[in-house]
Structure 1
Amino acid sequence: MMKRQLGFSLIELMIAIAIIGVIAAFALPSYTKHLRETRRADARSALQEAAARQERIYTEANSYTGDVSRLVTNADGSSSPEGYYDISANLSCDRTVSGTTYYSCFTLTATAQGVQADDTDCPALTLTHAGVKAPADCW
């Protein structure tokens, strides 16, 4: 009487590894895309918070500020809370009264950096004083 061998044959093991490889080949790009899209929430929240702070500053000083450190809460004073985006502020619609320049328009921009820099679909998100968000598909 022959004893039955326990375990896996080399063929069975190679088939299992091939199946895992095929699943990983499909899952990894989807997972990476999901991570990029999820990280965009970091930019959206940073821009909306910075816009709210701009409005608060405007009510106090009758002018928007270009000082990003007053607009973001991150310790380095220029990036989004999770650090995936660099925040910048551009001012326009200026008027000068008694030697002081006042700005009544702003555009906030969140530019992808670090691991998020490979996001070619939405490398930068913007928000203006009028609430215009661009690119629309990224919001």
Structure 2
Amino acid sequence: MNNQQGFTLIEVMITVAIIGILASIAVPQYSDYVTRSRLVESQSKLSDTRVRLEQFFVNNRTYMGFACDQAAAGSDNFTISCPTLTATTFTISATGASLTGAKKMIGFGFTLDDLNQKTSAITGANASSGWSNPTTNNCWVSKKPNIC
């Protein structure tokens, strides 16, 4: 009697098909999860910069002269800038950067001003991949399609 051991071709094909189906579900979900974590990083940097600006204002009675580049250090996925710094107002922006291979964040942008008004600006490939600006643009998008 010849006793063979091992897998048949159909068993291997079924296993490969199951793994393929699971991967086709898991990879996009993981990619969205990574994107959402990068969005939280930018929003945290904006909030931190706002606190630093308010402290600067308490000490100097003006927002002018604030070193925005110091407050923005350490972000690989977003570039933080202060396009508006006047004596009594400010606007802080986070713009998706292509540093360290994080090209997926290009097209994401967020702003925060002295009145704590938040806006999102999603453009380019991200806008066509399911991300979008909120209907009333007064918050930071954190999930697809436009959930704040």
Q: Normalized against structure 1, the TM-score is what?
A: 0.76
TM-aligned CA deviation for residue 119 of structure 1: 4.3
Contact 1:39/1:116, CA 8 A, preserved across alignment: no
Corresponding letter in the other structure for 1:129: D
The equivalent of 2:80 in structure 1 is 87
CA RMSD of aligned residues (A): 2.0
Superposition pairs of residues 1-139 of structure 1, within 5 angstroms: 2-64=1-63, 65=65, 67-74=67-74, 80=75, 83-91=76-84, 94=86, 103-114=87-98, 115-119=101-105, 123-135=108-120, 136-138=139-141, 139=148
- For 1:42-66, what per-residue CA distance to the aligned partner results, in whole angstroms no more than 9, with x for missing partners? 1011111100000111111211145
Contact 2:38/2:77, CA 8 A, preserved across alignment: yes
- Runs of 4+ in structure 1 deviating by more than 2 angstroms, as ranges, are 69-74, 114-120
Please give the secondary structure, in 2, of the residue aligned with 1:125: strand
- For 1:35-88, what per-residue CA distance to the aligned partner results, in whole angstroms no more than 9, with x for missing partners? 1011111101111110000011111121114532242343xxxxx2xx111001
Larger radius of gyration: 1
Number of aligned positions between the proteins: 121
Q: Normalized against structure 2, the TM-score is what?
A: 0.72
Instruction: Choose between structure 1 and 2: higher strand proportion.
Output: 1
Contact 2:53/2:66, CA 8 A, preserved across alignment: no
Contact 2:80/2:93, CA 8 A, preserved across alignment: yes
Instruction: Between the two structures, name the one with larger relative contact order (CA 8 Å, sep ≥ 6).
Output: 1
Contact 2:118/2:140, CA 8 A, preserved across alignment: no
* Structure 1, gaps ≥5 residues long: 75-79, 95-102
Contact 2:97/2:105, CA 8 A, preserved across alignment: no
